[in-house]
Copies of this chain bind each other. A is one copy, B any other.
């Protein structure tokens, strides 16, 4: 990976650079609210020892430190019963010093993630997965929306892409990325096709896309011949192999056709974390009537 070359190519979305600007804005605003006596704080919950999850949680705490948000880290062994996690969430819901609650996904198999997400107080749901926040998003009242989809929207805005009437293809229909980004783009009047593992002739479907968003976790799923000339491509996939991370898009070959493309790493990942910082700040302001 020729990292330096990549980030200086104007077709490559520099997620880190956009994230830095968002974080700088958050940092300045955190300083302002601190002068008003508000100390924003994020609590994270990690269940189990999944190495990428441990890394993501660590990255979120580092981001908190960068922007001046306090954070605390709740770690539980893999076999922790769901009730215990939900009890912790209830405690964090009650604590006025905690403004945002983030449960790192995926959870172990014996836990129903939707039950856990539904336990978070909607006003502390900085990851935007509570059904009330999801539903507000669906009806076009976007508040706390999932961070990765919002990161994609921010990147589109940054590059002044007007999505109105654009043919968008989303590959992946998860609750975390595929469904929310589909809805957020429908809300912005894009024409959105949502594809997934059951879709027939995926390569024909993806070739329609003026904007292609891929969030499947299948390494290298999207090849050059599946991409339309001039397409904008967001790679939200993450596959870890021997400590290195791979996206869902064959980056080098798709770059030849794309007009804009997000790399892995350094694309959507940093944006997701920057948006999380923004949400935590907003939660703190909301809870202190500063909005």
Contacts and interface: CB of A to CB of B under 8 A. Distances in A.
Interface of A: 114, 117, 129-141, 164-165, 167, 173, 175, 178-180, 182-183, 186, 189-200, 205
A114 B167 CA distance: 28
B186 A173 contact: yes
> 5 nearest interchain CB pairs?
A135-B135, A131-B135, A134-B135, A193-B193, A189-B198
A131 B180 CA distance: 14
Contacts of A164: 198
A197 to B, nearest CB: 8
A262 to B, nearest CB: 23
A165 to B, nearest CB: 4
Contacts of A196: 186, 189, 191
A139 B130 CA distance: 9
Given A135-B135, A139-B175, A179-B183, 16 more contacts: A114-B141, A129-B139, A131-B139, A131-B141, A133-B135, A134-B134, A135-B137, A137-B138, A138-B183, A140-B175, A189-B197, A191-B199, A191-B205, A192-B193, A192-B194, A193-B193
Given A135-B131, A138-B135, A138-B138, A191 B193 contact: yes
Given A165-B199, A191-B193, A194-B186, A135 B141 contact: no
Contacts of A141: 114, 131
Given A182-B186, A186-B194, A191-B193, A200 B165 contact: yes
Contacts of A186: 173, 178-179, 182, 194, 196
Nearest to A189: B198
Contacts of A180: 138
A14 B179 CA distance: 32
B195 A194 contact: no
A192 B197 CA distance: 13
Contacts of A137: 135, 138
Given A131-B132, A134-B139, A191 B183 contact: no
A140 B193 CA distance: 18
Nearest to A138: B134
13 contacts: A114-B139, A114-B141, A131-B132, A131-B135, A131-B136, A132-B135, A134-B139, A135-B135, A138-B179, A138-B183, A179-B186, A189-B197, A191-B198
